[in-house]
Amino acid sequence: MDVLYSSTRSKSAPVKASEAILKGLAEDGGLFVPDHIPALDKSLEELSQMDYRQVAYEVMKLFLTDFTEEELKDCIHKAYDSKFDTELIAPLAEAEGAYYLELFHGATIAFKDMALSILPHLMITSARKNHIENEIVILTATSGDTGKAALAGFADVKGTRIIVFYPKNGVSPIQEKQMVTQKGANTLVVGIHGNFDDAQTGVKKIFSDKELAKELEGKGFQFSSANSINIGRLVPQICYYVYAYAALLKEGKIRAGEKINVAVPTGNFGNILAAFYAKNMGLPIGRLICASNENKVLYDFFSTGTYDRNREFVLTSSPSMDILISSNLERLIYRIAGNDADKNRELMNALTREGKYAVTEEMKEALADFYGAYADEEETFGEIRRLYDACGYVIDTHTAVASAVYQKYVKATGDQTKTIIASTASPFKFTRSVMNAIDAKYDAMGDFELVDELSRLANVPVPPAIEEIRTAPVVHDRQCEADSMKDVVKEFLA
């Protein structure tokens, strides 16, 4: 049965998967959602005998139903190749009774590689399928990781250009160096004076500017998105939860059908939404543990049923989660509203107008699978140190937020269900924060001295992604105000 995609904000005609991938965002500003979530059609035992690429095909074929088997397998094999430093693609590390799903073995050492390695191939295939001759302009805002992963995926891909906006003072030094040293004649990186929400809002405004779209179409361009609002980002993320369950089953850590919990550090809500979709495909997931940092807008939402972004924006050591507008939450709101686009649009308009909205009691009851909690900076650093002291395993700040929240969950509920913790970035991406958490004495070292010391402590080689930026020249030094983003885009495409 084909899966079609509709907007969360209107009853407009549904589109095929390839069309939704190309558009990125619906014309009415809504997000594309599947008309139904398909069930897994392979048994858990069968999946446990497959490698990552095979599992990815079995999941993606169910959502991307207008892709042929040949097209989809070609995209998968081009994506999950030697760019990853392990044949497993997403290995599991057992530490202190939990299973850390390492999603950082790709080209840019963050979980965004898992989806952004395949998105360019899905997009180019989609363009070919839909006879698109325009040059596709990827426009994206990043809180640190999406930017580099998207740049790496789209650099010098024929028929595309990519523009990345990031908060100038809101990412780690390593994250910034990775982006501003990116090569590729079709790439542009711009630091904005503002936070991630400013960048994300600016990108959404450009997407909804119909006059600009018409002007650029006349010049042979059309916009698309590499942010997690693109369904071509979300579907590949579902795959690694299915693969992780299958890997635990293969290793004899769980029995077929045994429920597991999943703990995910999240700001934009896409990564945990993927786990929710996997659960609704039939994967035996019990609780979805939503971990926030001090920008705890999601924790407050799950606690009260009210989403309220009217609060101070906090810069933390886990910058990819420094977000007050969780775009992907809209897909969940639409679902718990009974797939009612009018109700969802009413709530999203309230968020734009007043900065908040409240769901009904009935909708709140539909969130029972989720558990929300948060970890402050002290707890985050404490968890890095605790885990290192206990077993020598080193995690980054984002993973530490999830790990600390998982500890809180177990303490609060007594639930001893086996748990996968999404480990979303390599500790090498946030070296200073990680090393300071282990011992404050390291703060006197330079950034790359810290890299070498971390390698020694963790007994892990320095990733190629870090080695290559040690001496790489800065290619992008553009900055702008948030309200000038449109002008920057027009200038780049002139």
Give 421-438 as a DSSP string.
Answer: EEE-B-GGGGHHHHHHHH
Give the pTM.
Answer: 0.92
Looking at the DSSP bridge assignments, the partners of residue 5 are 15, 34
C-alpha span between 184 and 135 (Å, rounded): 16
Number of C-beta neighbours around residue 287 at 10 A: 20
CA atoms within 13 A on the CB side of 436: 15
For residue 202, give the H/E element and its range.
Answer: helix 196-207
Number of C-beta neighbours around residue 257 at 10 A: 10
pLDDT digits (tens, 9 = 90+) for 185-234: 999 999 999 998 899 899 989 988 999 999 999 999 999 888 788 999 99
Looking at the DSSP bridge assignments, the partners of residue 224 are 138
Catalytic option among 112, 148, 279, 429:
112
* Beta strands 285-292 and 370-374, pairing class: parallel
Q: What angle do CA 52, 330, 290 make, to 5 degrees?
A: 60
pLDDT digits (tens, 9 = 90+) for 391-444: 999 999 999 999 999 999 999 999 999 999 999 999 999 999 999 999 999 999
Closest listed residue to residue 275, CA positions, set 265, 267, 285:
285
Percent of the chain with pLDDT over 90: 89
The verdict on whether 112 is a catalytic residue reads: yes
Tell me the C-alpha to C-alpha distance, in Å, between residue 415 and each of 92, 291, 407, 420. 21, 17, 10, 14
pLDDT along the chain (494 residues), means of 10: 96 95 91 97 98 98 98 97 96 97 95 94 94 92 86 90 94 91 96 93 91 93 87 97 98 98 96 98 98 98 97 93 94 97 97 97 96 98 98 97 98 98 96 96 92 96 92 95 96 92
pLDDT of residue 145: 78
* Beta strands 356-358 and 306-308, pairing class: antiparallel
C-alpha span between 297 and 175 (Å, rounded): 24
Cα 59 to its chain centre, rounded Å, is: 18
Phi then psi for residue 24, to 5 deg, are: 80, -60
pLDDT of residue 144: 77
pLDDT of residue 477: 96
